[in-house]
Chain A
């Protein structure tokens, strides 16, 4: 069985290294980028099963990458796990990131994880998402 691909996009190299290591230990095939532009290129290239995405990044927000993925027919099915310091309930709800500039609505992210990220919780979340996805496929 081929190992499932996961792309991590986070501007902080320490976190990238951390999540890559954890994913590798759990038997996934991890890839990483430290900004939105590189991340999108990597995703187009690798067609991963799941993208773990940070939001607060200096050059461009992770939300713009999220919308890019969701509005691209080839990429819209990729699972997206948001892993951010932003509190999902209090801070992310205030932002209407699901509406595109042309007014169309995109599907919500598949999962949220609020930093600090504990390895076990992270891997459990990733596993749950991928399992559910597999179940849907079959």
Chain B
């Protein structure tokens, strides 16, 4: 305690040494001149040395008494006062404190001094402001309601959304209804003093259905009794919609994988299978329950994919690979696999497997149907072809006979030519028809692709010379042997070359040329036959692969391209064509090595129903 030297004894007594020091307040005693005569150490800690100074110099750093000074008032009327006021602490920082001002009387009852006890409320006021800010600015609807369910306080969001509704019933706000809600969390809180949370459907200000999560808590001033409940409501409409959408999408995805024709297998980062759809069950002939969470992906999927995952790869496409099912059968499949990652972190892997047996079966079925339809609907057209050829034979005989009878050697030779041509035609027709109408598995053997082309070039060398068409051969050296049926492919190439020569002859160009190319590109063996003949317009291009379509009158059977396409398809390949009227045409047989049949036709087992008869 610090005091002035001449502190009157009654004041000294009043303050009492121990108590003065111990109270948790900053205490000073001032005389009628407002001069500090005693301070406790708490006061000194807060406001600095003060004894001998005027109180206003200490508290407020002023040089004269404050207006409406509370201490002066107490000197006058002796009333104890409490004042909430601001000042400056010893470090010059703003201080917020509550001062308790009480009179000290001498024996005669005169107020000689005043004692001022200050409580520093800077911290608690700061806290209060923070809470207030929180109350106002928190992004949810906060109201304080009384036991009549009237709003006594509402935060900024409530005011901004619904207007100033203090005094109104809470249910007129979020729900915009006239009566109390059936399931009222505030009512429960008023009843049991506990916090409650519930989902409430209300209306937004514009009248749209809005979902709120409402939390209520008792607002007491410390005791058990409370008169108010604080209610916090969050608009969860959007997030509910989002989660519903999420749910729907997840259900959709679930159904998608469940009903997918492709087998879908997904594993977690440890390789344990987590998803095994019905198609996968069918493919591997095992129940999903025996697999998911129990078995490793590596037990079912090809090594290439397991290795890709292990090596940190991100995806793998295998157009043709094989898996082994639980019955030990090896199945041809198309694999498309993805490693699921988040950044560098592997979450798992998912694989789609397409059973190629089914695809092959469907392809074959389509081919068979096409063939049957063509055969069935065109017997009459075949008859036309035969009738024309028979007329040619009849004519050949007549002309020959007439030449002999009249001794016209030239006529005889012409007649003989007609006979030869038409015998050849009927041979081609029958061969073409047979190869088209019968399904057969190509008899593949390792064959040098260039060799077939050489044979065909040899076959046509003389014919093209006679016809005045240049036949060019452009092989690619070093193409490895491929699994081809040399007879079949030779026939196809013959067809294409014969067509090309015809196309050249039908044009009036001077330099007529047919080029045969053999290439290997990206694992595909390609035969290309190009000509600079008449070319084809759109109408003809659309029809070239239909049965008995021919632009050659009696010169064509209309079966050549169709038979060619069929054979190429049986080899797992495709026939491509490009053509411009007047410019010429390019026909390509594209034979991917990986789709070529295995020797003995075992690769596509079950796919071909009709075996070629010996």
Contacts and interface: CB of A to CB of B under 8 A. Distances in A.
Interface of A: 11-12, 14-15, 17-19, 21-22, 25, 34, 56-58, 85-86, 91, 114-119
Contact of A15 (B384, B392, B411, B414): B392
A27 to B, nearest CB: 13
Contact of B392 (A11, A12, A114): A12
Nearest to B549: A58
18 contacts: A11-B554, A17-B399, A17-B414, A18-B394, A18-B396, A18-B399, A18-B418, A21-B398, A21-B411, A22-B398, A58-B550, A85-B383, A85-B384, A85-B385, A85-B391, A91-B380, A116-B387, A116-B394
Given A117-B394, A118-B394, A58 B551 contact: yes
A115 B384 CA distance: 8
B188 interface: no
Interface in B359-387: 380, 383-385, 387
A116 B391 contact: yes
Nearest to B417: A14
Given A12-B555, A14-B422, 4 more contacts: A14-B396, A21-B415, A22-B398, A91-B380
Given A18-B391, A116-B390, A12 B553 contact: yes
Given A21-B411, A85-B387, A11 B399 contact: no
Q: Is the interface of B mostly helix, strand, loop or mixed?
A: helix
Residue picked from A11, A57, A85, A91, most chain B C-beta under 10 Å: A85
A59 B369 CA distance: 30
A63 to B, nearest CB: 15
Given A58-B552, A85-B384, A117-B391, A14 B398 contact: no
Contacts of A86: 384
A18 B551 contact: no
Q: Is the interface of A mostly helix, strand, loop or mixed?
A: loop
B394 A12 contact: no
Contacts of A15: 388, 391-392, 395, 554
Contacts of B415: 21
* Size band of the interface chain B makes with A: 20 to 34
B421 interface: yes
B296 interface: no
B402 interface: yes
Contacts of A91: 380
Nearest to B393: A116
A68 to B, nearest CB: 20
Residue picked from A22, A57, A117, most chain B C-beta under 10 Å: A117
B453 to A, nearest CB: 30
A115 B388 contact: yes
A94 B385 CA distance: 20
A35 B394 CA distance: 22
Contact of B387 (A17, A18, A19, A115): A115
Contacts of B380: 91
Given A21-B398, A56-B384, A14 B554 contact: yes
B402 A11 contact: no
A115 B390 contact: yes
Given A17-B418, A86-B384, A57 B411 contact: no
Contacts of A118: 394
Residue picked from A25, A86, A91, most chain B C-beta under 10 Å: A25
Nearest to A21: B399
B553 A115 contact: no
Contact of A12 (B402, B411, B414, B554): B554
Nearest to B552: A58
